Amino acid sequence: MLSERRWDAIVAIVATVIALGVLFLFAPPTPSRTAVSLAALVLFVAGYAVVGRAAVEPPRAAWRYPAFLSVAAVAVGIGVGAAPFMAMLQTLAYPLVWVIGDSRRRGIGGSAVIAGSVFVGVIIGNGADADSVVAGATTAVFSLAFAIAIGLWIARIAEYGEERERLLSELTAAQGQVEALSRERGASAERERLARDIHDTLAQTLAGLVIFAERAGRQSREGQTDAAAATIATVEQVARDALAEARALVARTAAVPREPAFAAAVERLVERFRAQGHAAIELDTADAAGELDRETQVVLLRCLQEALSNAAKHAAADRVQVRVRVDAAGGAALEVADDGRGFEPASPGAGFGLDGMRERVALAGGTFEVDSTAGRGTSLRVHLPTARQDAVDDVSGGAP
């Protein structure tokens, strides 16, 4: 809908045009009629300025509509009776009645009142003969029909605009809720990622520190000075590794060793577990000469770290076999097998171990398999596809 200022401009322009037409183009036969028609025009403009203008935009006081309708009907009737050209005042009266009435019922009723005033004005100006009645009725009926048709059309457009505004507000609110849920989900995913990283890095390293510290204390109490010193040196090195891992986590980067070759990173991790002395670890990296992206390295190293930790702490294994393969295209596979006590994979576990590995591998688009039987050891296999193959799979899966 138009604002008050725009209606001010419209009323001023149309009133000026009507006044000029009455004075210079379609002047009434007598000066008195000219004065009456101009007075009617002034009455209409004053009625708009004093009563109608404040009701153009909501909120609208209930009394303003009938008050303005009365002033407009009187002004139109008197003006048309004084000068036929004053019928042009309908171009202002009808739209303002619909705008200020603010409903179909009031718009139609107000239009009928204005049409009736036009009919009365024609009768007053031309006399109550048959020709005047026919002319007045014809003018009133046609103007009323046109006003109602245009008014209903404009009202429908206004309702459509309001409906669109309401839907837009609802959509904006819904988008805000979706954004909030997305932030919450992202925060939850970030918390889970941090939990996995802490479990796979700091928690594992601190557990190793506890084991080495206990060994050093036992060696010291037994008088094994050299062995205790060597263990303390290992504790120092592991503590430095823990510090590096903590800094990596703070920087939101994975705590991957900084060797340029992936095989060297695997050997370093295996050597750390060998130093704990729980099990003999056989490592095969002959087929791990290919280059891997950083994310794939993170997944494989975390899975290897968790598998070795489980073999040492839970399986009580004496022997662990580790095999890492990297193909030229960037795909990788990890196999870890131990001769420990084993477990039932179907039984629910407590902790992040297997579930964390399975989730990490799934997020990387790989496969994770565990084969274990109570008393017969455990075999763990991880396979990660190349980044190119991952993209092809996504496209193929989304094709119809």
* Domain 261-400 part of CATH 3.30.497.10: no
Helix (H) or strand (E) holding 104: helix 104-126
pLDDT for 397 equals: 47
Which residue did the predictor score with more confidence, 3 or 99? 99
Q: Select, from the ranges 37-51, 141-155, 350-364, the one with the highest average predicted confidence (pLDDT).
A: 37-51
CA 157 – CA 27 distance, rounded (Å): 38
pLDDT for 394 equals: 47
pLDDT for 391 equals: 45
Which residue ranges make up each domain of the chain?
Answer: 4-128, 261-400
CA 27 – CA 215 distance, rounded (Å): 118
> Which has the minimum average pLDDT: 60-74, 250-264, 309-323, 357-371?
250-264
> What does the block give as tokens for 334?
């990890």
pLDDT in tens, 253-267: 444 444 456 788 888
> Which has the minimum average pLDDT: 124-128, 137-141, 162-166?
124-128
Residue 319 burial by Cβ neighbours in a 10 Å radius (0-12, 13-18, 19+): middle
Helix (H) or strand (E) holding 161: helix 130-198
pLDDT average, residue stretch 52-70:
87
pLDDT average, residue stretch 91-105:
85
Strands lying side by side in the sheet with 280-287: 280-287, 319-326, 332-338, 378-384, 367-372
100 within 8 A of 63, measured Cβ to Cβ: no
pLDDT in tens, 211-240: 878 888 888 888 888 888 888 888 887 787
Band (398; pLDDT cuts 50, 70, 90): very low
102: left (phi over 0), alpha (psi -120 to 50) or beta: left
Write down the mean pLDDT value for the chain. Answer: 80
pLDDT for 388 equals: 47
Q: Where are the beta strands (DSSP E) in the chain?
A: 280-287, 319-326, 332-338, 367-372, 378-384
pLDDT average, residue stretch 173-199:
73
pLDDT average, residue stretch 197-221:
76
Q: What pTM value is reported for the model?
A: 0.45
pLDDT for 335 equals: 93
Residues 6+ apart with CB under 8 A from 283: 266, 267, 270, 322, 323, 324
